[in-house]
Chains A and B, each alone.
Chain A
């Protein structure tokens, strides 16, 4: 009892451990996969912002490069490079180009003294720009070179232009170059003022409405890390201390996760440091594109949560399946162990029964209870019979062991099956109860087959012995031999109690008859028919059963003749 309890406890531990291990493994794997997916999604979100920063910078750089080409085109205009160009002609060139390039707030030509001689809508006409950086630098620049001046407010020009609708101050980027005639004589400077509103239009094109909804924002910093462009125009011009800004040196591209000054919100910030484009060497601008982590990583978190939830569900299902499978395996093992234990118990009991009989029978003689010669002879013969029974059981056990270890081999020879059956009949006749008949319709001619004589005899003996055992007194056991050129067919038919279809299913199984050895309702080791079936199988034959309860049973063996 204690062993069974221990067995159950061990099984329960194995079952629970298996289920927990499977669930734990599934959960850890899904958690890890979820974490990886989350990290990957976070990286993807950061890289998307980093890509936006690059695109913003690239568009701005290409745009300025194009504007520089515009200015070069004006400077190289044949109408301006003649040695002597009238002022009216210069104004005409300015007017044409002002119309051609509406993005410029100002297109102007100054003479070498800095006096504006032609300009868009006559802005600053006659005024001196000699003090302006763009003029000074362009005047000193080599023939064919252009200078760019970073974003600045042009107070004088701003007064002459319409104000920004939002009230923000007007800001410009200047592009200028020296004007040489065909004699290579410096005639003055051509300069344009590009409204900085242009760069804002790039931002609006780049950041789509859905990204604006997702709180994606662009900030443009100058080389001095002061804000040139931001959603909040009030902070324009203020310096920005940020890790992303520090990292965004020329051509540096990446993203950070950090809080911005004065804010508690964490942002994913993509950055890119401009390095110019083509002839435009860049002004050291840095583009930052930010998005709150709560928004940027929302999809990542959702995906990870989904994977984890799936993992929990899968883990639960798998652990339940694992539990059931383990339970089935353990249960099967337990049944097998029980069957084997029962078999050992029954086999030892069956071995002891004839051994005990021998001991009692000889005991009567040895201990002097049987004194008369007739009694001595009787009990000696009985002991001999019991001993034979004992040997039969031992042989059954040995044959089972041989079958299971694969050491049972067929020793075949040409055998007369008629003679074999007749031998079995003669041997079994002594077991007949009073009134019982054992009938074999013996063919007149021998019928030969090639098989293992000893083993087939064992099979026929087993079937006939069983038939006699289960046939009531005054009943009959019939043995019928039939044959075709290729097959031998032996039928052993009794008029006994019959076998139910339920019992038929387990009849040929090894432990089929010992599942409940203590019931006492079935005798024998449960190996007889198992051995018959195995031996017939070895002969590549078949054994079938036809039975009607309370009427009788027929066992039919068919084996090939060769």
Chain B
């Protein structure tokens, strides 16, 4: 089963993502802050990580620095998923190894599922 890790401090969003992706047949893991996310990422080796940027304890950028995508997890598929639209911030996240930096508010549930499938190279249709 494909593992998807959401690192997101907004409980309401976590709940919708959990509902959505469980329904789609994924194993959904979620963390409420960057530190918890780092632990899960290291122990669970998820297939894809949906990473919020602004979180308690460890920000998205700090997560990426500690997870060290380029050196320690070159195959990790991480989507930065945030409403922060600062150019410098986006640039830094991409430099640290995220596949995509997407603006959260632009995505409906259906579009988000399509994004994850695209990243995973999954061609099966969604409901």
Binding site for B on A (CB under 8 A): 1, 345, 348-349, 352-357, 359-361, 363-364, 366-370, 375, 379, 382, 385-386, 517-521, 523
Interface of B is mostly: helix
Is A355's CB under 8 angstroms from B105's CB? yes
A-B contact pairs, 16 of them (CB 8 A): A1-B87, A1-B91, A349-B54, A349-B83, A357-B13, A357-B16, A360-B17, A360-B20, A363-B16, A363-B109, A366-B108, A367-B109, A518-B53, A518-B84, A520-B9, A523-B56
Distance, CA A365 to CA B85, complexed state (A): 28
| B28 close to chain A: CB less than 8 A | no
Instruction: For the complex formed, measure the closest distance between the CB of B66 and the CB atoms of chain A, giving whole angstroms.
Output: 13
Which stretch from B42-50, B57-65, B72-80, B117-125 is at the chain A interface?
B57-65
Is A361's CB under 8 angstroms from B83's CB? no
Distance, CA A349 to CA B86, complexed state (A): 10
Q: Choose among A360, A369, A519, A520 the residue that contacts B13 (Cβ–Cβ < 8 A).
A: A360
Is B12's CB under 8 angstroms from A520's CB? no
Q: Choose among A366, A370, A518, A521 the residue that contacts B19 (Cβ–Cβ < 8 A).
A: A370
Is A520's CB under 8 angstroms from B83's CB? no
Is B16's CB under 8 angstroms from A379's CB? yes
The residue in chain A whose Cβ has the minimal distance to the Cβ of B17 is A360
Is A356's CB under 8 angstroms from B105's CB? yes
The residue in chain B whose Cβ has the minimal distance to the Cβ of A358 is B12
Give the interface size class of chain B.
Answer: 35 or more
Q: Please indicate the chain B residues that have their CB under 8 angstroms from the CB of A353 in the complex.
A: 10, 13, 83
Binding site for A on B (CB under 8 A): 9-10, 12-13, 15-17, 19-20, 23, 34, 53-62, 82-89, 91, 104-105, 107-110, 112, 127
Q: Choose among B9, B56, B108 the residue that contacts A363 (Cβ–Cβ < 8 A).
A: B108
Is A386's CB under 8 angstroms from B105's CB? no
Known pairs A359-B108, A375-B19 / 14 extra A-B pairs, C-beta < 8 Å:
A348-B85, A349-B83, A352-B104, A359-B107, A363-B110, A364-B19, A364-B20, A369-B127, A379-B19, A382-B12, A517-B54, A519-B59, A519-B62, A520-B54
Q: Among the interface residues A348, A352, A382, which one has the most CB atoms of the partner chain B within 10 A?
A: A352
Distance, CA A375 to CA B19, complexed state (A): 9
Instruction: For the complex formed, measure the closest distance between the CB of A111 and the CB atoms of chain B, giving whole angstroms.
Output: 124
Distance, CA A421 to CA B110, complexed state (A): 44
Q: Choose among A1, A363, A375 the residue that contacts B88 (Cβ–Cβ < 8 A).
A: A1
> Given the known A-B contacts A349-B83, A370-B19, are A520 and B34 also in contact in the complex, defined by CB atoms under 8 Å?
yes
Q: Please indicate the chain B residues that have their CB under 8 angstroms from the CB of A363 in the complex.
A: 16, 108-110
Is B13's CB under 8 angstroms from A356's CB? yes
Is B20's CB under 8 angstroms from A356's CB? no
Distance, CA A360 to CA B50, complexed state (A): 15
Is B61's CB under 8 angstroms from A369's CB? no
Is B108's CB under 8 angstroms from A345's CB? no
Is A520's CB under 8 angstroms from B59's CB? yes
Is A360's CB under 8 angstroms from B55's CB? no
